[in-house]
Amino acid sequence: MATVEPKLILLFSGKRKSGKDYVTDLIHKRLGPDVCCIVRLSGPLKQQYAQDHGLDFDELLGAGEYKEKYRADMIQWGEKQREKDPGFFCRVAIKEAQQPIWIVSDTRRLSDLQWFWREYPSQSRCVRVEASEETRRERGWEFTTGIDDAESECGLDQGVDFDWIIKNEGDGSQLEEQLATGLLSIAKEKVKED
Ligand SMILES: Nc1ncnc2c1ncn2[C@@H]1O[C@H](COP(=O)(O)OP(=O)(O)O)[C@@H](O)[C@H]1O
Ligand SMILES: C[C@@](O)(CCOP(=O)(O)OP(=O)(O)O)CC(=O)O
């Protein structure tokens, strides 16, 4: 488990190319590295998968075709690990987290949320990043059977009462206003609390 108790955990989810990484990177920049850290559940998954399959971990972390080439197999490999231990990737991903605010950029399954709700019930908040399919296509997404109709992409489409929904259309001009009047102000208040 992490060595410090966080004040706020933002559990992000969203479809491929909705802008999860873009939005969480922006929040990280606005709050600063002393206040918040980005936690990627796919980080330990990709690292172990890369080791087990002799692949390039950094390339799997990227946003290019290399990751997409192995995505389907990584999903299946990851789900086999989760069947044995649903919280495995959550525990490993937060191990180095020291800051008061954790931004979990890539929750995908109810088991991900349930783990944080159980371990950190008062600190966990759910955030959904949304973009139209048109915008996502402009960012390089195309529907892929077996991925975009599977749990990895659809696991949080129902059954979650999101605390914030961030509309991330086009160049995101409304993004700054959404963040400033919502998430960022709450986060800054949380950090001030004793
Ligand atoms: N508001 C935005 N303005 C400009 N580019 C964006 C915006 N949101 C996302 N992008 C770009 O779209 C692509 C997909 O975003 P990303 O955050 O990687 O999506 P996800 O992590 O949800 O798959 C990236 O190239 C990113 O830079
Ligand atoms: C096997 C995965 O962990 C791969 C996730 O890779 P990314 O988190 O890089 O995906 P996007 O940013 O949405 O494109 C998905 C899973 O089902 O665990």
Nearest CA to ligand 1 atom 4: 171
Output the CA 21–ligand 1 centroid distance in Å.
7
Index of the ligand 1 atom closest to the CA of residue 21: 17
SS3 sequence of the chain: CCCCCCCEEEEEEECCCCCHHHHHHHHHHHHCCCCEEEECCHHHHHHHHHHHHCCCHHHHHCCCHHHHHHHHHHHHHHHHHHHHCCCHHHHHHHCCCCCCEEEECCCCCHHHHHHHHHHCCCCEEEEEEECCHHHHHHCCCCCCCCCCCCHHHHCCCCCCCCCEEEECCCCCCCHHHHHHHCHHHHHHHHHHCC
Q: For ligand 2, atom 7, which residue shows the shortest CA distance?
A: 42
In CATH terms, the fold of domain 8-192 is Rossmann fold (3.40.50)
What percent of the chain has a predicted confidence (pLDDT) above 70?
A: 97
What ipTM describes this predicted complex?
0.98
Model confidence, pTM: 0.95
Ligand nearest to the CA of 40: 2
- Domain boundaries in the chain? 8-192
| Residues 12-40 pLDDT 10s | 999 999 999 999 999 999 999 999 999 99
Determine the pLDDT at residue 2.
Answer: 65
The pLDDT of residue 1 = 64
Pocket lined around ligand 1, Cβ cut-off 6 Å:
14, 16-22, 63, 139, 168, 171-172, 175
